[in-house]
Amino acid sequence: MNPMLKKLMPVAIILMISIAIAFANSPSPASTQTVTAKADGELTIPKDYQSWPKYLSGIQRPDANPKQIREIYVNQIGYDTTQGHPFAEGTLFVMENYGVKLDATGNPVLDASGQLQKDKLLKTFVMGKVKDGGKSVDPALATGDWVYSAYLASGEKAPDPTTGCRGCHLSQKEKDWVYRYDEFFQKKGK
Ligand code: HEC
């Protein structure tokens, strides 16, 4: 072997080993979150959530105030859940709440098929199932191990109280406190 290469060999080996260790020790952002977030407000918006499987897309909410279109993503752990079972611990949902295009009088401008049209992102809601997530919650508001966070489009915390999230989602107890459970599995096909 060329003497220069011989000298560099141990360096290269150490470098390769350290790269391998670094990769082995760097869990995805999603799994880091499920380990650290225990309570409402602690889930952050995962950086890569837009590359996750879509849960449901283009949900029209003309009844909401303000009127909205919603995009929902779920991480792989959640996506792999089979119908009839609760979502696995480690499941994360991210829901983008968009405003809709309005005319000068405040009425929605519909597209050719009568649908609302997406405008600016208003808020991002995150909901995750974490071990003991419901432990410190008022039992009247506990929704299993789900915890909730809400952010403004700027990335700052939204003023929405997480007791509000719980107040609504409580009604979905039969479906693991997840609203669009049936619709998701119908679309996914299992
Ligand atoms: C007024 C009742 C209400 C409140 C308050 C509410 N939700 Fe929901 N949530 C819904 C409904 C209804 C859906 C189904 C999607 C839709 O129709 O917009 C939903 C869906 C979701 C989903 C997608 C998974 C699913 O259940 O289908 C997430 C994530 C979510 N909400 C998080 C939150 C968070 C976080 C908060 C609090 C900041 C919150 N929600 C507050 C009613 C509510």
Q: Whole-prediction pTM value?
A: 0.85
pLDDT above 90 as % of the chain: 76
Mutation to probe ligand 1, out of 40, 63, 79, 95 (largest number of atoms < 8 A from CB): 95
Q: Give the residue among 146, 130, 126, 120 at the shortest CA–CA distance from 49.
A: 126
Distances (CA, A) of 87 to 17, 22, 81, 182: 37, 30, 6, 13
pLDDT at 34: 47
pLDDT at 126: 97
| Domains defined along the chain, listed by start | 30-188 (3.50.70.20)
Q: Give the residue among 158, 58, 150 at the shortest CA–CA distance from 100.
A: 58
Residue 97 CA to ligand 1 centre (angstroms):
10
pLDDT at 134: 85
pLDDT tens per residue, range 135-179: 889 999 999 999 999 999 999 999 999 999 999 999 999 999 999
Query: Residue 13 — pLDDT band, cuts 50, 70, 90?
Result: low
* DSSP 8-state assignment for residue 108: B
Query: Residue 118 — pLDDT band, cuts 50, 70, 90?
Result: very high
Q: How far apart are CA 109 and CA 190, in angstroms?
A: 36
pLDDT tens per residue, range 58-95: 999 999 999 999 999 999 999 999 999 999 999 999 99
pLDDT at 127: 97
Ligand 1 and 95: CB distance under 6 A: yes
pLDDT at 57: 96
Instruction: Report whether the peptide linkage leading into residue 53 is cis, meaning its omega lies within 30 degrees of zero.
Output: no
pLDDT at 181: 97
Residue 123 CA to ligand 1 centre (angstroms):
12
User: Which token pair is 80?
Assistant: 């792999």
pLDDT at 189: 85
Q: Helix or strand or coil: residue 40? A: coil
Ligand 1 and 127: CB distance under 6 A: yes
